[in-house]
Amino acid sequence: MASPTPPRRRIVGVSTKMYFTFAQTHSYITSVLEHLSAPTSPPPPRPPRSPDSQPRIPASSSSPDDLLSKIDVFILPDHVSLHSTVMRLAHTPIQAGAQDAHHEDRGAYTGFVSPAVLAEVGCRIVELGHAERRRILGETDADAARKAAAVVRNGMVPLVCIGEKTRPPRAAQSGEEDTEADADGAAVVAAVAECTAQVEAVLSAIPETAEVILAYEPVWAIGAASPAAPGHVAGVVRGIRALPCVRDRGRGTTTRILYGGSAGPGLFAKLKDGGVDGLFLGRFAHDPAQFARTVREVADA
């Protein structure tokens, strides 16, 4: 009897890229934890207490553990700040991850970061294949595949960025396509075609039972004023899930797909019915309050 496919657990993460100093990263994480612990609404007024009644025990505020029991959360700092981030998050459900790794565990690779060392210091997730690394450093699908294999080999989860370069019609860029039915079919098909090679390269390099997270980030939406339209995202995500390499993965294996690309608060409610499992955040989440707000929105949607 085939193992049932487990439900896909929602997930939210943020990359700080190279925006923060070491001290700012520490302050950011401290502030995120404080915002996740803070009650979302003021407590109700207490009724008058009679002289004979027992003293009331003040209600405690919620902890990150309460909220994060419903959702996975990760933070990807720069490499220098990673170990201190791991230590800071050690007693919380939040996972610390890295923004890249080399495909070899050790060797004469000056300036690169070993996946074995990342695993040793407690890294759980490793981002791979981001459009900025492809553009600036010329990284390819084959590079992402080799790195994904190294990440899995060292017991971590690859977070693989995928996305089309081709700009769709204006409606898909401006948010006018609210549902998948509104989406431009040709633009969706073209986007899925561009993503297919990226997905196939990575999934062919790792075991069928390995956990992997795909971050759908249209290249044209990264750093834009607004995210891709919900209808366009839903159509592309559905197309990715229909790929045989995704659909036919090992028994009991799930592949979660996040949306990234100018993602921020208020977006997930528009995407949740389109097969999107969460958000991969950038600059909008560098404000701890906005990051915590987005985590709550995804957890409660």
pLDDT, one tens digit per residue, over 81-133 is 999 999 999 999 999 999 999 999 999 999 999 999 999 999 999 999 999 99
96 touches 122 (CB < 8 A): yes
Confidence of residue 250 (pLDDT cuts 50, 70, 90): confident
Q: How far apart are alpha carbons 125 and 128 in whole angstroms?
A: 10
Q: What is the CB neighbour count within 10 angstroms for residue 3? A: 9
d(CA 205, CA 259): 23
Mean predicted confidence (pLDDT) in 263-285: 93
The pLDDT value given to residue 58: 37
The one-character DSSP state at 19 is: -
What share of the chain in percent tops pLDDT 90? 73
**What is the C-alpha separation between 110 and 40, in angstroms, rounded?**
47
CA gap 188, 196 in Å, rounded: 12
Residue 102 near residue 115 (C-beta atoms within 8 A): yes
Q: To which residue do tokens 């977006």 refer?
A: 267
5: confidence class by pLDDT, cuts 50, 70, 90: low
At 58, which helix (H) or strand (E)? Answer: none
Are 214 and 255 in contact by the 8 Å Cβ rule? The answer is yes
Q: Which two tokens stand for residue 41?
A: 């609404």
| pLDDT greater than 80 at residue 2 | no
pLDDT given at position 59:
38
Q: Which residues sit opposite 257 in a β-bridge?
A: 214
Percentage above 70 pLDDT, the chain: 84
Catalytic residues: 130, 217
11-36+65-163+183-300 fold? TIM Barrel (3.20.20)
At 56, the pLDDT band (50, 70, 90 cuts) reads very low
Phi, psi dihedrals of residue 107, rounded to the nearest 5° = 145, -175
Burial of 218 (0-12, 13-18, 19+ CB in 10 A): buried
Q: Give the separation between CA 222 and CA 262, rounded to whole angstroms.
A: 6
- Indicate the residue type of 262: S
pLDDT band at 253 (very low <50, low <70, confident <90, very high): confident
Q: What whole-number distance in Å separates Cα of residue 151 and Cα of residue 125?
A: 8
Please tell me the chain's helix, strand, coil percentages from 3-state DSSP, rounded to the nearest 5.
40, 15, 45
What pLDDT band is residue 180 in, cutting at 50, 70 and 90? Answer: low
Q: For tokens 């839903």, name the residue.
A: 234
